[in-house]
Structure 1
Amino acid sequence: MRFSCALETASERIRLVNVISPLIKAGYQLVSQRQEPSSNGGNIIQVVAKSQGAKTQADLIADLSAIDGCTLFKLEIEEDEAAPVATPIPSAPTAPTIDEKSVLAAIGVRYPDIAEVVTQYKASLPAERRVSAMHELGRKVGGGIYQRDYALGSPLKMSAAISRELVPALKVFSKIKARDHVITLVKCPFCQSSEHSHSGCHFVVGYIEGFLASNPAVGRVRAEETSCGAGSTHVCEFTIW
């Protein structure tokens, strides 16, 4: 099984060697690796490697998630044609044993088909933590997608970043309407399963803020859900400052 992955470190002190050493110890054969600074003060570590022995996809996700100080935000797997798939892509985590690290790993595998993962994570959270945890999850996913897909280009100012980068990034989830700094998700997948709760849309608020804040030309940014369609139209509006 050959795979490529990208991880963001929590600090610039966590470097390439801190990622590849545990992978080698876990029995992976490295093909290539690269390190570059992230806009959040850490590093982006990109690795291409092959598993050896009887490693499954579930084993791989567990090994990557166990690397200290790192968040997995991209994972692509190529199965050996001669070998059957030992374990399918893991299903969305289920309550009550979900932690953020395993959710981020599942999102890395299933992206952009992540609404079920996000919804089940939301359901597992106690009510008093739900808003903050969903916002933080969205912030990490949005920031990771910016680093993965847009960081290598020239940084754009806020208005251009919204129309030329954020809107295309959000279109993988829903039909989008955008006007100036207002974005509308038509049939928002993160509140469709909810009768009345707005907490699924806090994931989108965090995603927007994390995505734009990762752009060095934008800097500080705030997003707010100004209209939620949970329990009715599922048309959700977000305003960005």
Structure 2
Amino acid sequence: MALQVGLYQSSIANSAASRILTAMSIPTGSLSGFQKTANKCGDILAAANELDMAERRRKVKDILEYRGMDRNTPIDIEIDRQYNIPLSHAKGRTPFAPATQARDVVTENVTPEKYIVTYNSTNKLCRVGQRLVGQGKEPACPNHPKCTATIKMSDNIGDEMLGGQKCAQKLLTGDETQLLVKGVVSDSDGHFHRGVQEVMKSAAGVDPTSYLCVNHLKRSLCKNWKDLL
């Protein structure tokens, strides 16, 4: 279990860890045993991270109160999505996102630390489903037992509006830890903002403003200038 905690904080997987331990003449179990331990460890770490993000949301509300503001004062957030396969790899090959996994990370703009206050993951991969496809069957991903996928393989993993909706719903979870949003800093397509706006307006009566991320703008300008040169 301790090994899995370390692996979750590194870029190597169970197979690489097994080879390293074998090279050091340290007895190792089977890869299937490694995976079972990884699954147990993953559930524990996911629950711990959810509790940690809830505590950070509570801390943001405490800071608002220390500043003489109401604890439920809407705040500004930053949100972006990261894919396991960069979208640039699909240039000229397919109009769709080539990724199979994505994560949406939301940070607050109240403290200098910019705490991560919620997180949403999207996954198309399921080993059970892949095995069923190899047997000529059609798996019911993501609804069958032991399925690790959250969306179908045919679904659009680049749906940032849906990601914004899910993140907003998580921000509104819990009476003591919910955060209202008045502004959303994101990249130029604005889909995240529309997702957050839809949930905040319907659930809390707040209409967030969209702001463009200057870092995304700077990278876009630099890339365009390089192409011109």
> Could you say which structure has the higher strand fraction?
1
TM-score (norm 1): 0.30
> Could you say which structure has the higher helix fraction?
2
TM-score (norm 2): 0.31
